[in-house]
Structure 1
Amino acid sequence: MKKRFLDSGKIVGTHGIKGELRIDPWCDSPEFLCCFKKLYLDEQGRESIKVKSRPHKNIVLCKVDGIDTIEQADKMRGKTIYIDREEIVLDEGVNFVQDLLGLEVKDADNATVYGKITDVLRTGANDVYEITDDNGKKYLAPVIDEVITETNVDDGYVLIRPMKGIFDDED
């Protein structure tokens, strides 16, 4: 089941003396996190904060309504922030990493199960899925059209056509 509130960053410090926060974004970019006017401080969405944010290098600078001093802002340090899935429209074929974790990875041609996605690594050129089998052995599969043939988050699987060398020790 997809989580409604997604962990999307961590408050790592303050900025200036007027209560701005520095957030380490766990999103694709600081700009993505800056699109939100409301963030949440818990996984259930019970505690929300209204924010105005702007990207600054690889972090987000965030002004929270009601926090006007560095002392107030410093009390927020270390908190994880969440976004509401329902406030986001993703492009076709784009998924949240949290939705990919745990998906079963199967061969597109013969239904062999290779394992489950346990991490998504960002390499710059393309993402790479870390796939862990039932014995705990890890494999890496590039997220490219030649390898990933179908991703079905709702039904819990990814179909692949593995490149030579991913699951075997051939040269």
Structure 2
Amino acid sequence: MAEWFKVGKIVNTHGVRGEVRVISSTDFVEERYTVGTELMIKDESGNQEVVVVRHHRPHKNFDLLQFEGYHSINDVERYKGSTLYVSEEYLEELEENEFYYHEIIGCTVVTESGDELGKVKEIFATGANDVWVIQRLGGGKDVLLPYIEDVVKVIDVENKMIQVHVLEGLLE
């Protein structure tokens, strides 16, 4: 059975022709929402349904999707609040030192001196570089780490461990 990875959340409908508004939490957005790609919609009750992307377009801070066979707002209204997933079969091999978000999220982040900061809980694509949200050990305010060479030194996805160099002012 294929493994499924989260790619976004349906937050609303858009217009009357069956489009849904998605806040994406995935890398390679264009590939994830290519026409013909199968996505799984899972609602808060755990019900799930596989749909096929008919149309995709970016709109403001959202991705607008329309699925095969869904042509009206009435067809997609029930999906508000649901989560979208993509099957591992749609993931392509990456170059060396490239990683999928699902490989990074959940990794333990340690400093060069071995102090544990916490775990990566979310990733934001900002344009210039990604920003990793680190949930601190024992609570406290989340740390925002830029994914740049000066900060991220070692990524070991097999052991779910990331070593970082903490720049001055980064933890304040």
CA distance in structure 1 between the partners assigned to 2:37 and 2:88 by the alignment: 13
Contact 1:30 1:55 in 2 (8 A): no
1:130-162 CA-to-partner distances (Å, cap 9, x unmatched) read 334323234333211011111122211001122
Aligned to 1:47, what secondary structure does the other structure show? strand
Aligned to 1:71, what secondary structure does the other structure show? helix
Tell me which residue corresponds to 2:9: 10
CA RMSD of aligned residues (A): 3.1
Contact 1:5 1:45 in 2 (8 A): no
The worse-fitting range, judged by mean Cα deviation, of 32-41 and 89-98 is 89-98
Aligned to 2:128, what secondary structure does the other structure show? coil
Tell me which residue corresponds to 1:151: 155
Residue 21 (structure 1) aligned to one of 14, 19, 22? 19
Structure 2 portions without partners, runs of 5+:
none
Percent sequence identity over matched residues?
21
Cα distance change on mapping 1:51 and 1:128 into 2, 3 Å: closer
Q: Normalized against structure 1, the TM-score is what?
A: 0.73
Equivalent pairs counted in the alignment come to 163
Tell me which residue corresponds to 2:128: 125
1:81 equivalent to 2:91? Answer no
Aligned to 1:94, what secondary structure does the other structure show? coil
Which structure 2 residues correspond to residues 59-138 of structure 1 after superposition, within 5 A?
59-89=62-92, 91-92=94-95, 93-108=97-112, 110-137=113-140, 138=142
Q: Normalized against structure 2, the TM-score is what?
A: 0.73
- Select the structure of larger CA radius of gyration: 1
Contact 1:101 1:118 in 2 (8 A): yes
CA distance in structure 1 between the partners assigned to 2:84 and 2:22 by the alignment: 10
Tell me which residue corresponds to 1:57: 59
Contact 1:23 1:61 in 2 (8 A): yes
Aligned to 2:75, what secondary structure does the other structure show? helix
